[in-house]
Structure 1
């Protein structure tokens, strides 16, 4: 019997899936931020993103350690999500530094909104781990400052980045819907935490509303 199957005797399949998709998201975020750091136009930007990348890999290790403590393999737990997460990353490859910042801002905050909703139905120990992993690494404030400065210097950036943020939202929700459709355990967590009979549809509407509010803060509403 493999590690993930053994772990599911202790923690549910939905929780293993949740920790697996979180872990792969953190690993992907590390890759993305490390690459973006190399293309930063300033040393301050490079240092900021490199520090955030370090925080992401720390979060990955926390999730991997928790899965291991329950007899699960983080590699096996992540495997079901590679295709969809990688497809999203490939279809939304940024062309500029500002697009990189907006992508990280949009994706990280959407993911945080989603997983915080799911965390409401978890036990105390796992909820603490999930919420710790979702702690802001400082990227949001950094992105807000950088985008505001760019728009002030060139107002045409606003329209381009607004279109980019809408594309990111659409692509992210599409891949999230595919994942939920394929992973019954995650769907059950969403339904368990929903106060609305429409469950999954209501959650995605809530994610869109949160995104719209953040775009106002970012100056791209």
Structure 2
């Protein structure tokens, strides 16, 4: 999963010169990589997993993330068929390979904590598959925008919960969210296409809005249906019950980040 959409946003913004732009991008990447480390440690997995509510929440989280990575692998492999050149096809193939590596890390971690990987992923198959069915791209550019926007929304979601995780799980989640290069690739290709044919921007802007709406709808559904995961999202395993206000604030933050990323693509949100 490519979580460095923020870096792509920074690189595309403003009037910075080459050196300044590089510095901004590096700073943003560093911020993304250290996301989730701002809170005091709650301990390691051995300590925290003694709480059955916390353990259930983490298994849910890893199951959702694992199926997301597996879906990303499938999507990128499929999108490669739409690539206009062999170089673009090869670039997507490399990104797909990175996503599958992330999936294997998560699958192995689930097995290591005595959770069945397939059973852990199963609750998230229908929501994710439904999202992909309703947002099948019509062409190469729509596929790039979907990958960029979808990955970024998912990354924001996992960054929200990373600050509430034990040290071992947080390190795994942030590692899996490492950059596959897709953000920079998508921004460069989409902006180039808009420069060549400005009217493409209007169609892709509408597409981006649709993607955001569908993604938030499915994410809200998952959070509402999985009590352990929603507890973790809104304040840690000690919180019990679904807090609509806190979850709403979280999704507002995700929406604000989406607006910036759309601007990086040269599109209105």
Same fold at TM > 0.5: yes
The answer to whether the 8 A contact 1:10-1:70 is kept is no
CA distance in 2, matches of 1:37, 1:18: 28
Residue in structure 1 matched with residue 245 of structure 2 by the alignment: 198
Deviation readout 1:132-179 (Å, 9 max, x if unpaired): 111121000000010011001100110000000000000000000110
Residue in structure 2 matched with residue 208 of structure 1 by the alignment: 255
CA distance in 2, matches of 1:69, 1:85: 25
Deviation readout 1:57-107 (Å, 9 max, x if unpaired): 000000011111111111000000111100000000000000000000000
TM-score (norm 1): 0.93
CA distance in 1, matches of 2:145, 2:53: 39
Shift of 1:11: 5.7
CA distance in 1, matches of 2:110, 2:131: 25
- How many residues matched? 214
CA distance in 2, matches of 1:188, 1:197: 11
The answer to whether the 8 A contact 2:54-2:228 is kept is no
Shift of 1:198: 2.6
Q: Give SS of 2:245's match.
A: coil
Root-mean-square deviation (CA), in Å?
Answer: 1.8
Q: Give SS of 1:148's match.
A: helix
Residue in structure 2 matched with residue 161 of structure 1 by the alignment: 204
The answer to whether the 8 A contact 2:137-2:146 is kept is yes
More contact order relative to length (CA 8 Å, sep ≥ 6): 2
CA distance in 2, matches of 1:32, 1:45: 15
